Structure 1
């Protein structure tokens, strides 16, 4: 299934809430839990519990209004800054952070985070800890050289990005340009974490087909190398669901540091 026109995540209206309900909810018929929820959280827990990724500032640039992967970092970084390309995503994230009525519930994710840390009795504490650590939710635009213009962010100790690179990039050259802009958010020696879908071309939200740039793991590793990154950890998981809502083959997690 790869025919007909596709929309672009960052250029067309994007229903963030519908996306969350489809790919990240705790509904019984949500078939993506192993890939979209558990895989990122397990790998985030692994790399951050090892202790070699530390600092004060973490910048997250991820798809939609997802925050579940950040539970493992909220007690490590003092200042978490979230960047969003879509106003709906910005509003949805802020609604959750401010505990406003109607916000998407991430209790199933915070419960899994507490389980990973063997602190199952502290689920609500984990939720509040992350909300407190998030200092800003800021709009960004990859059309600008400084994607947060006119805001100038402090150089981050770590940048995390889940599922965004493949939906905002048209082709290999575009991916490289976008990756370079993300790398400029990092201090020398800082860490970059990318989570993405391998060999995908589309996903469906609200009946609309959304573009995904198709790439494999060797492309991403080469792209990072060209920009002066050294890969520290890599993990890949073959697709564990059956659905025509998205056509990826596997999901990858890659952690690298920006060589000085």
Structure 2
């Protein structure tokens, strides 16, 4: 087993995403906006869009219910999914992230502008579709947005969610896990929401120790590809594909070394 940095006293000054929360709009501006000084476009925008589009377009991952458990108020990773699932249930751990996401879903004034990400997806898909039509389709599928409580046995207590055909999680586990045991525990919770044979898709940041939002520095669990693979197999998943991409940018907002995308399915 690879050595994984624990959340010890040396990182005690760092905030925990699901405990302290962060400025969800600032998070979007830092990591997924179209601002000229936003350097994470290839990693945080293109990498998820490319991998989800390629995986879903293969046609074997589809169904009625997809659950999204991702960090912040991001939505671009779900562009490809809306063509293959009737209902997308988006779960968030903070009210602020819910409000920010709903502002876009409800087309309210002041919503974050996702047009640049929509264009990336449409161009990659190569289909003749208007950007507005694609965004409307995402909005139609992702109308189920709710708060979840990670520490509860049923994270939606008292609501019982229907078993999902697929779960997507982008960058959430690195933000909520203090140590290796947390990672396994939360992954097990995700697994419990899946049907037997259901699919799990993860995007994470390798060898990361922190990320910054505004003036606040947040804890991130440090892990490598080997660790993620072993945990998934240990929790009863079969890994179908894995892609690792080395970091392409220079910024002191965060210190990850690479991006990882893993698609797996739960053994029946």
| TM bracket, shorter-chain basis | over 0.9
Task: Give, in whole Å, the separation in 1 of the partners of 2:243 and 2:260.
Answer: 6
In 2: Cα distance, 1:89 partner to 1:65 partner: 5
- Flag structure 1 segments of 5+ consecutive residues without an equivalent: none
1:223 matched to which residue of 2? 231
The CA deviation string for residues 107-159 of structure 1, in whole angstroms up to 9 with x for no partner, is 11111111111136511100000000113101011110111111111000000
Aligned equivalent of 2:198, options 170, 190, 197: 190
Say whether residues 1:38 and 2:28 are aligned partners: no
Q: Does 1:180 align with 2:188?
A: yes
Aligned to 1:155: 163
| Displacement of 1:4 | 6.5
**In the aligned structure 2, how far is the partner of 1:4 from the partner of 1:187?**
38
- TM-score, length-scaled by structure 2: 0.95
The partner residue of 2:21 within 10, 13, 20 is 13
Q: State whether structure 2 residue 73 is matched by structure 1 residue 82.
A: no
Match of 2:267 in 1: 259
Length, aligned pairs only: 259
Structure 2's unaligned 5+ residue stretches are 1-9
SS in 2 for 1:74: helix
Aligned equivalents of 1:4 and 1:85: distance in 2?
Answer: 21
Tell me the distance in 1 between the aligned counterparts of 2:72 and 2:157: 20
How do residues 1-260 of structure 1 correspond to structure 2 at under 5 angstroms? 5-119=13-127, 121-260=129-268
* 1:3 Cα deviation from its structure 2 partner: 6.3
Secondary structure of 1:10's aligned partner: helix
Q: Which moved more, 1:53-62 or 1:114-123?
A: 114-123
Distance 1:188 1:3 in 2: 38
The 4+ residue runs of structure 1 with deviation greater than 4 A are none
In 1, the alpha carbon distance for the partners of 2:189 and 2:61 equals: 21
Give me the whole-angstrom Cα distance separating, in 1, the residues matched to 2:134 and 2:250.
32
SS of residue matched to 2:211: strand
Query: What secondary structure does 1:78 align onto?
Result: strand
Alpha-carbon shift at residue 207 of structure 1 (Å) = 1.1
